[in-house]
Amino acid sequence: MRKIILSILGVVLVVVAIFVAKAIIESNTKERPPAKKVIKTVYVQTVNNGTVPIVIPANGTVTALQKTTLFSEVEGIFRSSSKPFRPGQEYSRGQLLLRIDAAEFAANVRASKSELYNMIAAVMPDLRLDYPNDFPKWEAYLNSFDVNKNLAPLPKPSSDQENYFISGRGIISGYYNIKNQETRLNKFNIVAPYNGVLTEALVTEGSLVRPGQKLGEFIDPSEYELEVAIRKSFSDLLKVGEKVALKNLEGTQEFLGEVSRVNSKIDANSQTVQVFIKIKDAKVKEGMYLEASLEARNIEDALSIPRNLLVDQNKVYIVEDNTLQLAEIDAVHFSSESVVITGLENGVKLISAPVPGAFVGMPVEISDNTSLAKTN
């Protein structure tokens, strides 16, 4: 009996403890407040379509419009120049760039002239007898003959018989051989073809110069040209004479150029067209890397927006009745940071800054700091 009573008391105590614990837990439970509805504030801009110029960015390296690579056609020792033959040295048109030693070749030319003189002198008696009327002009030519000067033109034959006679004695062929040697002798002196600057010098005085050897580069620093490549879709929109805004990579210098040529051939690999821009600016230097902004055409009823506002490349978020909606647009032209679009009506409230977690139907509140959508 005693054990039964103790067992019953134990069970009662456990049950009581359970109910007491449950009551304590329920007394500490706090009611969860109802969730607040969060409405995001967004920035919008009112669409005002207009004319947007399509500006094509391009870049390239500047080269001189007049650039001459100096090569030697003869062999000899580089003797002198009218000025020190060094990079950066300026020369005027006609000034001597290089003088290669031509003493040996010049002696050979004088020897050839002496042979021609002897050939003419040898036929003078026959000319006096057979062509007495033509003898005086040949005598005058022989008297004025100077081996140290360029050959004067031969007297013009007055008849076919005289021409045959002179040709048969080898005088005419000898004359043209000497004229060829005189032309080659002039190649020992290289003169400046225009006012310019020596940008590269590969030889020094006393160096042995060989035929075909590159001696340096000479440019005209007054005019430069920038070659850029643009997409073929815009090639027919660019015209010769259009002004082009240019700047260096750092953006610290700005220049003005002009389209001088547009290549009619399309590069098969890149599907681009070469465009050449002429630049006249004292601050431009050979080898500079410049960025060009080419105005190709104008798009009507369009506006330019940041690229990060696009959704799936053909949609943008707009606000209607304080909710976000997607509107389809046509992306006409992409640049590095913006895109030109069409398809939105004037007055539409376009989202002007990306909205994190945006979705169709999302309730929003328009910020008081709204603006007008620009067309450029």
Nearest CA-CA partner of 106 in 9, 6, 222, 188: 188
Whether the CB-CB separation of 178 and 116 falls below 8 Å is answered with: yes
Tell me, yes or no, whether 97 and 120 share the same domain.
no
Q: How far apart are CA 151 and CA 182, in angstroms?
A: 9
Q: Which SS3 state, helix, strand or coil, does residue 372 take?
A: strand
Between the alpha carbon of residue 62 and those of residues 230, 238, 285, 358, the distances in Å are 16, 20, 7, 47
Residues making up the chain, counted from first to last = 376
The verdict on residue 12 lying in a domain is: no
The verdict on residue 138 lying in a domain is: yes
**What's the average model confidence in pLDDT over 221-250?**
84
Longest dimension (CA), the chain: 181
**φ, ψ (nearest 5 deg) of residue 282:** -65, -20
The verdict on residue 235 lying in a domain is: yes
| pLDDT tens track for 189-218 | 999 999 999 999 999 999 999 999 999 999
User: Quick one: how far is CA 203 from the chain centroid?
Assistant: 30
The verdict on residue 82 lying in a domain is: yes
pLDDT tier, 297 (very low <50, low <70, confident <90, very high otherwise): confident
Which are the contacts of 91, defined by CB distance < 8 A and separation ≥ 6?
Answer: 82, 83, 97, 192, 195, 196, 197, 198, 218
Q: Is the pLDDT of residue 370 over 60?
A: no
How confident is the model at residue 264, as a pLDDT? 85
Tell me, yes or no, whether 96 and 113 share the same domain.
no
How confident is the model at residue 33, as a pLDDT? 60
Domain end among 276, 297, 318: 297
Tell me, yes or no, whether 72 and 215 share the same domain.
yes
Tell me, yes or no, whether 314 and 170 share the same domain.
no
8-state DSSP, 220 = -
Nearest CA-CA partner of 221 in 198, 246, 200, 196: 196
Domain end among 265, 297, 329: 297
**What's the average model confidence in pLDDT over 3-32?**
71
Tell me, yes or no, whether 343 and 225 share the same domain.
no
| pLDDT tens track for 63-115 | 999 999 999 999 999 999 999 999 999 999 999 999 999 999 999 999 999 99
Q: How many CB atoms lie within 10 A of CB 348?
A: 19
The verdict on residue 327 lying in a domain is: yes
Lowest mean pLDDT among 108-117, 297-306, 346-355, 361-370: 361-370
Tell me, yes or no, whether 244 and 344 share the same domain.
no
**CATH number of the domain bearing residue 79:** 2.40.50.100
Tell me, yes or no, whether 280 and 250 share the same domain.
yes
Domain end among 273, 297, 321: 297
Lowest mean pLDDT among 18-27, 42-51, 92-101, 153-162: 18-27
How confident is the model at residue 371, as a pLDDT? 53
Tell me, yes or no, whether 285 and 239 share the same domain.
yes
How confident is the model at residue 229, as a pLDDT? 87
Nearest CA-CA partner of 248 in 53, 60, 64, 65: 60
How confident is the model at residue 324, as a pLDDT? 87
314: containing domain: 42-55+300-372
Whether the CB-CB separation of 276 and 243 falls below 8 Å is answered with: no
Tell me, yes or no, whether 267 and 308 share the same domain.
no
Total domain count, the chain? 4
**Higher-confidence position of 233 and 278:** 278
**What's the average model confidence in pLDDT over 125-129?**
89
How confident is the model at residue 375, as a pLDDT? 46
**φ, ψ (nearest 5 deg) of residue 159:** -150, 165
Where does 202-309 show beta strands of DSSP type E?
Answer: 208-209, 214-219, 224-231, 243-248, 254-266, 272-279, 289-306
* Amino acid in position 230: I
**What's the average model confidence in pLDDT over 178-184?**
94
The verdict on residue 250 lying in a domain is: yes
Tell me, yes or no, whether 252 and 265 share the same domain.
yes
pLDDT tier, 373 (very low <50, low <70, confident <90, very high otherwise): very low
Task: End-to-end CA distance of the chain: give it in Å, rounded.
Answer: 101
How confident is the model at residue 293, as a pLDDT? 82
Which are the contacts of 344, defined by CB distance < 8 A and separation ≥ 6?
Answer: 47, 49, 303, 316, 318, 327, 329, 350
The verdict on residue 7 lying in a domain is: no
Tell me, yes or no, whether 237 and 94 share the same domain.
no
The verdict on residue 11 lying in a domain is: no
**What's the average model confidence in pLDDT over 250-269?**
87
Whether the CB-CB separation of 318 and 42 falls below 8 Å is answered with: no
**Higher-confidence position of 123 and 28:** 123
How confident is the model at residue 34, as a pLDDT? 58
**What's the average model confidence in pLDDT over 54-58?**
80
How confident is the model at residue 199, as a pLDDT? 93
**CATH number of the domain bearing residue 311:** 2.40.420.20
Tell me, yes or no, whether 92 and 204 share the same domain.
yes
Of the chain, the percentage scoring pLDDT greater than 70 comes to 93
Q: How far apart are CA 229 and CA 263, in angstroms?
A: 10
